[in-house]
Amino acid sequence: MKLKSTNNQEIDLSKISIICNTSRKNSEKIADVLTKFLQKSSINYTQQNINANCHNFEFDSTATFAITIGGDGTLLATARFYAEYNVPVLGINFGRLGFLAQIGQKKLKQGLEEIIKGNFLIQKRIMLQAITSISQTKLSALNDLVVKGGAISRTSRLYLSINNQEVCDYLADGIIISTPTGSTAYNLSANGPIISPVIDAITVTPICPHTLSIRPLVIQGQENIEIKTDNNADLIYITADGQDNYKLKKDEKISIVKSNKAAKLVLLNSSENNFYSVLRKKLNWGMPTLNH
């Protein structure tokens, strides 16, 4: 069974993988509601339970569609894995903000019915790929790659180049390299710009730089980014989506490019779930009505 979206993409329901974050309160009850809905619709599925630490979790590589029950972190880990297999992912939100997970707990059945009706979109979201110069460690990210010192109350000296052109020497807590999807995550907290998720761009945002002249950069998605550590650097890490990390060596370089893989996110096709409505709701941008 296949479902066609309003933008002519398809979801193959041959085998659904349900990823349930059991560290979230009531998540297993929602999983029970979901599985009963799928059974009633005669749809094949498997369920895997995951805890708060998504590291080294073994996803089902044979799935044709994935549904996550948890916060954005659960969805990020799932979407990174299934990008390799071109499998779309739908999120049921149990987190705090939930910019990525589309369906709320209270509207679960309604949201699932809309999916079955074909009232949904599948959006491709760009991802980042990083490789370190010494160990050749590779990391991929849907939200962001963060280069940051691990020492308490110490700034780090980092050197940024773009397309082999020196751009900036940072004395800062770190640097965030963000996709448009990740622009509403750590990047937003560091006063970086919010970027529409359909734009092919990458944001470079310093974390607490020790000078007022340094500002975030928005660059084309095709640019090649390189970050170099200082030869006196110690305890500097690169972290992907706040989940996978690697401790950098002194004088190590990190090359960051747009990945040739893209995450496929399933979004409800309604005015309540478009990007700008979600921004207005999640960030409380609506002004209260004044009573006269």
Residues catalogued as catalytic: 72
Cα–Cα distance for residue pair 115/101, rounded to 1 Å: 14
CB 67, CB 30: distance < 8 Å? no
Gap between the Cα atoms of 17 and 163, Å rounded: 40
> From CA 158, how far away is CA 194, in angstroms rounded?
24
Point out which residues pair with 170 in neighbouring strands: 158
Nearest Cα neighbor of 179 from 146, 134, 207, 228 is 146
**53, burial (CB in 10 Å: exposed 0-12, middle 13-18, buried 19+):** exposed
Residues in the chain: 292
Dihedral angle of Cα 186, 192, 196, 202, to the nearest 10 degrees: -90
Residue whose C-alpha is closest to residue 23's, from 79, 94, 91 = 94
SS3 235: coil
HSE-CB of 114 using CA atoms within 13 angstroms: 18
Residue 248 amino acid letter: L
CA 129 – CA 292 distance, rounded (Å): 54
Burial of 231 (0-12, 13-18, 19+ CB in 10 A): exposed
